Structures are given as C-alpha cells and as structure tokens.
Amino acid sequence: MCARCREYREAMGDAGEVLYSAKAFASPGFLRVVAAEGLGVDVVSAGELGLARAGGYRGESIHFLGNNKSLEDVAAAWEARATLVVDGFHDFDLVRQVLPAGAGLRCLVRISPGVRPDTHEQIATGQLDSKFGFPIASGAAREAVERVLAEDRLRLAGIHCHIGSQILDLAPYRRAMAAMLDFAAALRRDLGLVVERLGAGGGLGIAYTRQDRPPSPGQFVAALRETLERGCRERGLRVPALVVEPGRSIAGPAGVALYTVGSIKEIPGLRRYVAVDGGMGDNIRPKLYGARYEALLASAPAAPPTQTVTIVGKYCESTDVLIADVPLPELRPGDVICLPAAGAYCLSMASNYNGVPRPAAVMVREGRARLLRRRETLQDLLAAEVVEVPGDPPALPMVAVDGSEGAQTGLQRPLGE
Ligand SMILES: Cc1ncc(COP(=O)(O)O)c(C=O)c1O
C-alpha cells in the first residue's frame, strides 16, 4: 500500500495532488499511514470526515464530496476548512445556511463529462444519465460555475470529475479529460476564467483474478498528465494542477480476507458448497457488482487444486455466494481460506446483517502485525439499540397528551408514578 502511494506521488511529481478516496477503506489507523505518505483524502460524509480527522487529516487536503450533502455535512466541512466539491444546486442553499458571508471556502465544481467507461453499470458515474455531477450538455455545469463565482462564501479552485470505478482501460479517461478541457476553454472564452485545478477522480482498476491486467498507478497518472498537457497546448490553455483520488488501487491490493471453513455440503454430480465464517456481511461486492475473486488455502497457497468448489457465506440468503466454481485443494473444517485483493469496498461496506459482528482488521508490515480495528462484539451490536423490557421505567417521563394532570390513562402517565 505504501509502495502504491509512493508510485502515485512520484508519477504526479509537482504536477498536482494525490488524494486517497476514504470510501474504499476508512480506518483511521490506515489513513494515518496514507497521510504519512503525503496523500490528501476525499470523504463523502461528516462521519467519514471524522474518521479522516482521527487519521490526522486537516484543512484543504480533505476534499468533501457527495451528491446529497446534509446541513451537518456542510457544517463539518466548514468546521474542518475542507475543500468542498459542489455537486448539485442544493449545495448552494446549504452553503448559504451554514457558512458566514465572505467565508471563501475553497471549492471545486463536480462536472459530469458525459463519458461512460467500460465497467459494471453500477459503478459508472461519468455518463449524462447519472446522479453525480453537473452535466456539461444541459448547461448546468456552466450555471454552477457562475453561481460559485457569485457566492462569496465559496472560492472557486477548479473543476472535478469522476467517471467510475474498476476501470481497466485508460481511453475513457482521455475522453473525459478532453471534455473537461473543452469546458475549461469555454469558461476562459466566455468568462475569462482560468481553471487552476482539474480533478480527474479515481477509478483505476486492480487485478482481482489472474486474468485481470490493470494499468499501474504510474501509467494511469502519466496518461492523465500527457493528455492534459497536450490538450492544453491544443486549446491554448495554461496547464491546471491535476488532482487524482484513487481508493481501490491503494487499499484493494493491500487487503487479504481470511475465512475459516465450516460446513461442507456435497450434492453429488452437481456442486460442493464450502461455507465460511463470513460472506455478504463483510463482502457484498460479488452480489452488488458480480465481482469475481480468487481463493487460496492459507496454509499452502501454492498447493495445486484438486477440486472445484463454491464458497458461500454464513448469511441467511441464497445469494450469499463469495465465489462460484473456484479451483482449490482438499479442504477440511477449520482450514483458512484467503481471498486476495479484498482491501477496498469490503469492510467499508460491511453490515451487521443477521446480527453478525463485523470482523477485525489487522495491518501487517515486515512480519509485524498491528490491530487497526478490533472484532465487534454483542455489545457493539447493542450499543445503538433502545432496549425496553416490560416493567422497566421508560428513559423519558411521559406526559398526558392533553397536558392535563387529571388525564389518568395509564399509557400516557409516567410508569411508576
Ligand atoms: C468521486 C469519487 N472519487 C473517487 C472514487 C474512488 O474510486 P476508486 O476506489 O475506484 O479509485 C470514487 C469511488 O466511487 C468516487 O465516487
């Protein structure tokens, strides 16, 4: 993970900024390491901002995105003096309610460049038909920029886009950069505005299986820089600072999910189900995006496969399948199976479905292990629950609905009075 952060930083040099997209995995202990590598961070909620601050992040190196921010989100962004990425006209109303006049909070405007990458449709975001970004085509992008310029609570630092995730081909990024530069050229021509920062988003894909051949972070940044420099030359524009915000390509390859084998069910001539002590509660990606993983026997990762099995989880859903038809050596209950490339969008999307506590996260470096997040317990499951046992006094005294002392219906009076 540190090597990937460095590869991003070195490829970027002084041409711009690299942020880590915390949605991929936002444990503060992990964010601390990313921050130490010199990366900023992007967050999408007041909660994620709180995790980033616990990870040591401060100020404008935190970019606050989101297509439906709340008042609390904007207040948290202002309090942290983060960079706000405006995504929807509703943001202007929130900004006026939360920020004092003349605040001048640094912001970028999120543009929808009208580019559809070749990835799963649920993780494509750059096309016109998307909930994210102001479309260029409809004129909304232009209007958003003009409204920022007219709002002294905001200070325009540049424009931003993000076309999708798990992208294995760099061509759509080149198309998005071209669309963004055409937009920047129109802003300069019509408004005399110089775009100083251009956010290209994240989205670089990783290898989940042996067949996947993603570009490296260095190739990704080099392609963006080259497209930007050439595109600016062609349009007579000053080259803006480039901002990238990868998540998956930093956290993903760094994570290995470990599962213990429990029940094994053989249906002769049909399928062998191997059930593990996790599943869709800690990794929803196979079901959400049809994601495919490899699996290895942890005690003998190089052991040749002898069978084809389907690895399923422990959740009460038939759809709780982690990997269908995967080759593995002989397995027995108690064996540990590992799934490589499980560091991104697994634990950060984990749930407590079926009352299953979420697993621990451990960081390993040069043979030394450090707990990032402890395994959850029943106490964690109960922490936010309001448990009322019949006969207990209620937490808050109840009053008669009509306010009269004489209203004596037992239900409306404080119990025990
Ligand atoms: C706006 C934005 N930026 C960055 C990312 C990170 O993408 P990835 O983890 O694929 O690099 C996402 C993820 O969807 C995103 O929505």
Measured in angstroms, how far is the CA atom of residue 269 from the centroid of ligand 1? 43
* Residue ranges lining ligand 1, Cβ < 6 Å: 21, 23-24, 42, 65, 162, 165, 201-204, 245-249, 344
To 10 degrees, what angle do helices 28-36 and 46-54 make? 60
Atom of ligand 1 at shortest distance to CA of 249? Answer: 11
pLDDT value of position 123: 64
Which atom of ligand 1 is closest in space to residue 166's alpha carbon?
10
Question: Domains in the chain, please, with CATH?
Answer: 2-251 (3.20.20.10), 257-379 (2.40.37.10)
Here the tokens at position 29 are 């202990």
> In Å, what is the CA distance from 308 to each residue of 226, 273, 352?
45, 10, 30
Q: How far is the CA of 188 from the centre of ligand 1 (A)?
A: 28
CA distance linking residue 28 with residue 289, whole number of Å: 27
Give the mutation target among 21, 243, 289 for probing the ligand 1 site: most ligand atoms within 8 A of CB: 21
Active site residues: 316
pLDDT at 109: 98
Per DSSP (E only), the strands in 48-196 are: 62-64, 83-86, 105-112, 134-135, 154-160
- Centre of ligand 1 to C-alpha 183, Å, is 22
- Model confidence at 35, in pLDDT bands (50, 70, 90)? very high
β-pairing, 40-43 with 62-64? parallel
Taking only the tens place, the pLDDT of each residue in 84-123 is: 999 999 999 999 999 999 999 999 999 999 887 776 666 6
> Can you give the pLDDT at residue 115?
86
Q: What is the mean pLDDT of residues 262-286?
A: 97
> Which atom belonging to ligand 1 lies closest to the Cα atom of 247?
9
Q: DSSP secondary-structure letter at 71?
A: H
Give the pLDDT score at 122.
67
Of 247, 257, 252, give the one whose Cα is nearest residue 358: 257
Ligand 1, atom 13: closest residue by C-alpha = 165
pLDDT-derived band of residue 354, with 50, 70 and 90 as boundaries? very high
Residue 409: pLDDT band (50, 70, 90) is very low
How far is Cα 18 from Cα 242, in angstroms, rounded to an integer?
A: 8
Q: What is the mean pLDDT of residues 185-189?
A: 98
C-alpha distances in angstroms, 197 versus 33, 108, 161, 170?
A: 26, 8, 11, 20
Tokens at residue 34, please? 């990313």
> Pocket of ligand 1, candidates 4, 23, 44, 221: which has the most ligand atoms within 8 Å of its Cβ, to mutate?
23
CA of 337 to the centre of ligand 1 (A): 29
Q: Using alpha carbons only, what angle is made at residue 140 by residues 134 and 146, rounded to the nearest 5 degrees?
A: 105
Q: Tell me the pLDDT tens digit for each residue of 322-334.
A: 999 999 999 999 9
Among the atoms of ligand 1, which is closest to the Cα of residue 205?
A: 10
* Those residues with Cβ within 8 angstroms of residue 316's Cβ, 6 or more apart along the chain or in another chain: 354
CA of 324 to the centre of ligand 1 (A): 27
Instruction: Give the integer Cα–Cα distance in Å for 118 and 323.
Output: 23
User: Atom 4 of ligand 1 has which residue's CA nearest to it?
Assistant: 202
Query: Mean pLDDT in the chain?
Result: 93
Residue with the smallest CA separation from ligand 1 atom 1 is 162
Q: Are 323 and 274 in contact (CB under 8 A)?
A: no
